[in-house]
Structure 1
Amino acid sequence: MFWDREQEMDALERAYARPEGQLVVIYGRRRVGKTALIREFGRGKPVIFFLADRQIETVQRMGLRREMAAVYPAAGRLEPTWDNLLGFIAEQSAREGSKLVLVLDEFQYLAQSNPAVPSILQRLWDMQLHDRNLMLILCGSLVGMMFDTCLSYSSPLFGRRTGALKLKPLRFHQVRQIFAAWPFDEVVRLYAVTGGVPHYIRMLGVTPDAEPGDIIRRLEQTVFQPSDLLYDEPRFILSGELAEPITYFSILQAIAAGEHRLGKIARALAVQTNRITRYLNVLTELDLVERRVPVTVALPTRTRRGLWTITDHFFRFWFRYVFPYQGDLEMGRTDEVLRQVRQTFESQFVAAAFEDVCADLVMSRSFSLPFHPLKVGGWWDKNAEIDLVALNDETGEILFGECKWTEQPVGMDVLQHLYAASRRVKWHNDSRREWFAIFSRAGFQDELVARAQRPGDVGYRDVLLVQES
C-alpha cells in the first residue's frame, strides 16, 4: 500500500523531467516510507535499486554490481570498483531513451564502510555523471549522518545535490483523507497510536476500506504479543541506529515517566546535564523527541521554559503501555494489561494526542479561520497552560484554543477558563486581535453555542466552536 505523498512525488517527477543530471537526497527516520516512495516513483522507469547494509565496502560494491547485472547483464563482468561501476552507469544512461534512476538506499552504511565514499562519488559526479541522462538518489535513515555526508557545508557532496527531501510521518489531516470512510474519532485513535507512520498503520492490520473496529483489540493482537514485530520496536530502532542505545533508552524512559525538564532528566539518569544534551540532540535528529517552548517565545534557544517531549506517537504509546507491563505480557497476563490500558487510554493518552490533531487542523486550514496563522503551539507559565495558541506576528492576530477529548459536551466554564489564561499571555498586548476556539469531541452546551453566535465585547464574533465527528 502506498498512501498520499503527493508533494514528494511531484518534487521527484519535476526533478526527473529536467534535462540535466539530478542528484537527490532523501532522508528521514526509519519506518516513515522512504523506500516505498522511491519504489512508487520508479514505476515504469529504468531503475537500478541497491540497498546497502553494514557489510564491508568490497561486499557492498559486489552487491551493487549484482543489482546492475539484473538490469544490464554486461555489468556482471565488471571489476567492482567505483570507477568501473559508475562509469558503466554513465554509459548506459546515454543509451537509455528515458532518464536512468540509480538508487543507493541506506547510503549512510556505504559511508560507514568507507568514509571516502562521498569524496569518490563527488569526483565521479563531477567527471562523468552530472551531465548524463541520470537521476542519482541517495537515501538514508540516520538523519545526522545523512546530513553530514550529503548536505552539510563540509560534505564533499555539498553543492552537487539538485534536490533534498526530508520525509516525515503523515500529518493528521493526511491520515484523515486516507481513512475518509472512518468516523473521525476512530481516525484520531489510530493517529494517537501510530503518529501517521505508514509502517505502524500497516502493522496494525488496518486499511481504509475496512471497518475500524476496536483499536485496543488490534493492539492486543499485535503490539501486546511478545512474538509480534512491534512488541520491541523502540529497542530495535535504537539499537539499529545508535551506538549507545541503553543511554538513549533511559532518556526516553525518563521523559515518558514525566521528567520533561533537562535538569530533571539528568537527575533521573544520575549524570551531568551537559552530558544529556548531545543525546537529546541526536534523538531530535531522529524525530523521536523535541524541545517545546511556549509559542510566543521569540528566541526559543535562550528560554529556560523549554520542555522535552516524545514526539513519536508510537514510542509514546510503547513507553507508557508496553514497556512497563512486559513482564505481565511475557507471562500471558494480557487481559490484566488491557484493563490498565483502558483506564487511561481515552482520557489521558488520546486526549493528549488530540492536542496535536487540533494543531494540525489549524495549520492545514482544515476549517475556516479568521486569519492566517504562521505559528501554532502550546503556551504555559508557572500558573496556567493553554492547549493551543495560533498567531501571526505580522498582523498581530492570535487565537487561543482548548482541546477537549471528553464524553460530555463542553460548557461555558471552559471558555471562561480560556479567557482567564489568555490574559496571562504577554504578546502584543496593546494591539492584538483575539479569537478563542474550543475543540470538542462531544459537542457543546447550548449556552456556549449561543455565546459563539453573537459578537463579543470587541465588536466581532470572537469565539469558534470546532467539532469533527
Structure 2
Amino acid sequence: MAFVNRTDELAALEAWWRSTDPRQAVVGGRRRVGKTALLQRFAQGRRSVSHTGAGRAAVGELAQLSRQAAIALPGRIRDLAARPYLDWDDALDDLAAAAEQEPLLVILDEFPEIVATSPELPGVLRAFLDRTAGRTRLRMLVCGSAVRHMTALQEQRAPLYGRFDLSLSLHPFRPHEAALMLPSLTPSDRALVYGLVGGVPLYLSWWDQGADLADNLLRLACRPGAPLLTEGQLVLATEVEHGEYPAAVLHAIAEGRTQYNEIKDYIRAEPARTLDRLVELRLVERLMPVTEPARSRRRVYRIADNFLAFYLGVLSRYRAEIERGSGKALLPVLIESLDGHLGKPWEEAFREHLRRLAVAGALGRDIVAVGPCWSAGGQNEIDAVVLAGRDRHPVLFGEAKWARSVDGRGISSRLLEKANAITSAVPAASERQTDDGAAGPDSGGTEGSARARLALCAREEIRNAPPGCLTVTAADIFDQQYPPEPRRSSLIGTWLEYAAWAAACERPMVLSCRLTSRRGAPSLTGRGRHERQGGEGGHPRGGPAGDRPTGQRADHENTALDHGGPADPGLVELARACLLQDDVVDDAVHGAGAQREIDAEDHGHGDIGRNVPAQAGRSAPYLAQAGVREAVLGFEQPGAAGQEKVPVFDAGPGGGQRPGQARPGRAARYRR
C-alpha cells in the first residue's frame, strides 16, 4: 500500500525533530488509520530504533527491543545479543548513551500493550526524562491505538503529564484525501467507495479499482470470512469498550434510533456515559442544529465512521446468510439497498467540503461554523448551513442529494422555503425580489441582512442551477488539490482572477479583457493596471503585479490562476453570467477558423450589450456580500455626445442594476 497524504502530520513531526532539546512526542489514533506507516515514513533516513509492543512479559519486550537496537546500532561495545536489556532503566540509559553525539529516534509503538505488562514504565520514563534533560540527543516517540489510554497518558494525574512537546491524533482520511488512494476511479465511484468504507487507509486499499461494484462487494463482503465481515467484528471487539451497552447503542443508532430517548428505550438503560465514550472515540457524532446554542437539547446521534455505519446498518442484516454461503444470491439485494444508505455519508462529505472551502477563504470572511440544521420535530432539515461573524449569521444554505443528476431549480426553491422557516434572516418566498430590480425565483441566494447564498450538491450534475448558486459535485469533493483552485475549463481568465485579488486586497484595479476565437476555440486574455498604495501592497502571495512600481501596466496573457489563491465565488459567478451566455459564445466562436475579437475598443460583434445587464443583475448581490462597494464588469458601449463610453452596468452597494449610471471607465473595475 503506497503512502499518501499526512503532509500536515509529517510537517509537525519534522518541526518537533528540529526543535532544541525536545521532550517526547505522542501519536495516537484508531487502529488501521496509518500510524505505523506514518512513523516508518518519518523514520526514513534517520538513526532510529523502533519497537512494537505485543503484550509480552517484560522480559520478552526487552529482549525484542534489544534485537531491534542491535540491528539499528551496529558496532557498539555492548553486545545486545549476549547481554540484552535487563529492565527499562537499563534500556533507556543505553539508548541515551547511543545518542550523545548524534540524534537517535526511539519509537515505542503500541505503547499500551507494553504498559500492560510493565505498568511501571510511565514512571520510569518520567524519571529518565527529568534526569537526562539537556544531556542527550535522544528523541522518544510513543504511539498507540488504545485511544482512551493514550489520552490518559497526558492527563494531570498521569506520571508523564506535561512531558510531551508534541501530541498528534491521526484520523481517517477526509474525502479529498481518500481520493489519493483511489486515483483510477471516477469521482462518482470515489464517493460510493468512501460512503461504504470511509477514510481508513487499509479499507480503501482493499478496493480493486479495476473491478466493478458487484465484484468488489462479492469479494470483500459476500463470502464467509470476507474482509469487511471480519473487520466489522474486530472493530466492535477492539475499538468499543467491553460490556453490552456500547454495542447496543451503536446498533440502535445504525437502525435509525438517533435521539436520546429512542436509544434509552432500545437498550433499556441510561446511555449518557456510553454515548460520551463513543463520541470521545469518534465512533459516534453528536449533532445539533448549527444555529442552536451549545447547550441545546435538540440533539441527535449518528455513526461517525462510514464503514461501521455500513457494517451495522446494512451488512450485518445479511451476515448470517453470507456465513451460510448465500452471499452471491443476495448480492443484488445488497447493492439495491446502498442508495438508501449512502445519503447520510454523502451529506457529511458535502459539509466537509464546505469546511475545506471555508478554510481556503472561498466562502467569505469570518466563517465560524458549518453544520446541519432543522426545526422542532425534525422538520425543515437543511443539510448544511454556514455561519459567519460573532453574531453567527447564515451566509450559505446547502442541500446534498445522493443522485447523479438533479434539477437545481426545484431543489433551490424548497431549500429557500426551509431556510425561511428556520431563521428570520431569510425572507419568505413572496418577499424575494423580482424583475423590478432584485433577485427573483432564479436567484442563487437570499436577500435580507444575512445575504445568504445557496449551495446544491449532486454526484455528477446540477441542472438549471440558479445564477450565483454554488454547485458541488463529487469532482469537487474528491478533488485532490488542496486548497481547491477555480476551474480552468471556463472562459474566466487572468483578468477576473486579478480583479478578485485586487478586491480582496482592497486595491484599486483597472482591467480590460479580450475574448478571442481562433479555430473555433474561445480564449480570454487580459491587461491590468494596479495602483499601489503608499509604495506597498502588491499581491499577498507574490502574484503577477506584486513587485511592479506604482501605476505600471502589467500584461497577462494565458496565465489564468497564477496568483495562487481562489477567486471570490461571487466574482466568478458574475463573470460566468456575463460571458458564458449561449448567444455570446456562439457569436464569438461562430464558424470553424473564425478570428474575431470583442473588447473594450470594439463593440460591433455579438449581443454583449444586451446580455450583460440582464445576467449581471442577478449575480450582483454576491459582489455586495463579498464586500465590494463598486463593481463594473463587462464590455463598454458607445455613449452619447462625443462617443463617450460608459460601463454597461454598475453593481453598487445595494446590488441593484443601474445601466449607464456608472462613471466612465475601463471594462472592469472593483473597489471595496
TM-score, structure 1 length as denominator? 0.88
Cα offset for 1:422? Answer: 0.7
Which residue is 1:466 aligned to? none
Q: Per the alignment, do residues 109 and 32 of structure 1 end up closer, same or farther by CA in structure 2, a change over 3 Å counting?
A: same
Contact 1:361 1:367 in 2 (8 A): no
Q: Deviations over 1:424-458 (max 9, x none)?
A: 33476784231111112242333x44585557889
- Higher relative contact order by CA 8 Å / sep ≥ 6: 1 or 2? 1
Matched, 1:344 2:348: no
Q: How does 1:293-332 map to 2 (within 5 A)?
A: 293-299=288-294, 302-332=295-325
Which residue is equivalent to 2:123?
119
User: Does residue 11 in structure 1 map to residue 7 in structure 2?
Assistant: no
Q: Does 1:364 align with 2:356?
A: yes
Matched, 1:437 2:455: yes
Q: Say yes or no: does 1:460 pair with 2:621.
A: yes
Q: Which amino acid aligns with 1:434?
A: A
402-411 or 25-34: which moved more? 402-411
* Alpha-carbon separation, structure 2, partners of 1:156 and 1:451: 57
Q: Deviation at 1:397?
A: 4.6
Q: Which one-letter code corresponds to 1:110 in the other structure?
A: I
The match for 2:98 is: 92
The letter for the 1-side match of 2:222 is: F
The SS at the match of 1:317 is: helix
Look up the SS of the partner of 1:230 in the other structure: helix
Matches within 5 A, 1:252-263: 252-263=250-261
Superposed counterparts of 1:155-170, under 5 Å: 155-170=158-173
Cα displacement string for residues 232-279 of structure 1 (whole angstroms, at most 9, x for unaligned residues):
2132123234551543222211111111112211211122x2xx2222
Confirm whether residue 133 of structure 1 aligns to residue 137 of structure 2: yes
Aligned partner of 1:49 in structure 2 is 50
- Asked whether the equivalents of residues 225 and 323 of structure 2 are also in contact (C-alpha less than 8 Å), the reply is no
Distance in 1 separating the partners of 2:355 and 2:113: 36
Task: Specify the alignment match of 2:204 in structure 1.
Answer: 201
1:249 match: 247
Contact 1:142 1:286 in 2 (8 A): no
Per-residue deviation at 1:313? 0.5
Note if 1:229 corresponds to 2:233. Answer: no
Alpha-carbon offset, residue 144 of structure 1 = 1.3
Instruction: Map residues 374-385 of structure 1 onto 2, 5 A cutoff.
Output: 374-381=368-375, 382=377, 383-385=379-381
Aligned 8 A contact 2:468 2:619 in 1? no
Tell whether 2:190 aligns with 1:187: yes
SS in 1 for 2:382: strand
For 1:21-72, what per-residue CA distance to the aligned partner results, in whole angstroms no more than 9, with x for missing partners? 4411000111100000001111111111111122333432333223223324
Query: 1:240: which partner in 2?
Result: 238
State which drifts further: 361-370 or 302-311: 361-370
**Contact preservation (8 Å) 2:62, 2:84:** no
Query: Which of residues 190, 196, 216 is equivalent to 1:218?
Result: 216
Structure (1 or 2) with the larger CA radius of gyration: 2
Larger % of helix: which?
1
Q: 2:113 aligns with which of 97, 104, 109?
A: 109
Residue type at the aligned position of 2:373: W
> Residue 230 and residue 180 in structure 1: after superposition, are their counterparts in 2 closer, same or farther (change >3 A)?
closer
Output the amino acid matched with 1:14. Answer: A
d(CA) in 2 for partners of 1:444, 1:170 = 26
CA distance in 1: counterparts of 2:198 and 2:135, whole angstroms: 41
* Equivalent pair of 2:5/2:177 in contact (CA under 8 Å): yes
Q: Is the contact between residue 222 and residue 228 of structure 1 (CA under 8 Å) also seen in structure 2?
A: yes
How many residue pairs get aligned? The number is: 448
The 2-side partners of 1:193 and 1:235 are apart by 16
Partner residue of 2:280?
285
**Which among 391, 395, 403 is matched to residue 406 of structure 1?**
403
Preserved CA contact (<8 Å) 1:287 1:311: yes
Structure 1 CA distance for aligned equivalents of residues 468 and 27 of structure 2: 49
Q: Displacement, 1:338?
A: 1.6
By how many angstroms is 1:367 displaced? 9.7
Aligned pair in 2 of structure 1 residues 183, 127: CA closer, same or farther (>3 Å)? same
The offset of 1:5, in angstroms, is: 0.5
Residue equivalent to 2:72: 71
- How well do the aligned residues superpose, as a CA RMSD in angstroms? 2.6
- Distance (Å, rounded) in 2 between the aligned partners of 1:20 and 1:439: 49
Unmatched tracts of structure 1, length 5 or more = 463-469
Q: Secondary structure at the match of 1:231?
A: helix
CA deviation map 1:381-428 (0-9, x unaligned) = 222100111111337352100001224432422111111111133476
Partner residue of 2:417 out of 398, 417, 420: 420
- Closer, same or farther in 2 for the Cα pair 1:375/1:414, shift >3 Å? same
**What is the alpha-carbon distance in structure 1 between the residues aligned to residue 180 and residue 205 of structure 2?**
16
Q: 2: CA distance between counterparts of 1:216 and 1:333?
A: 15
Q: Distance in 2 between matches of 1:66 and 1:246?
A: 41
TM-score (norm 2): 0.63
Displacement of 1:354 in angstroms is 1.5
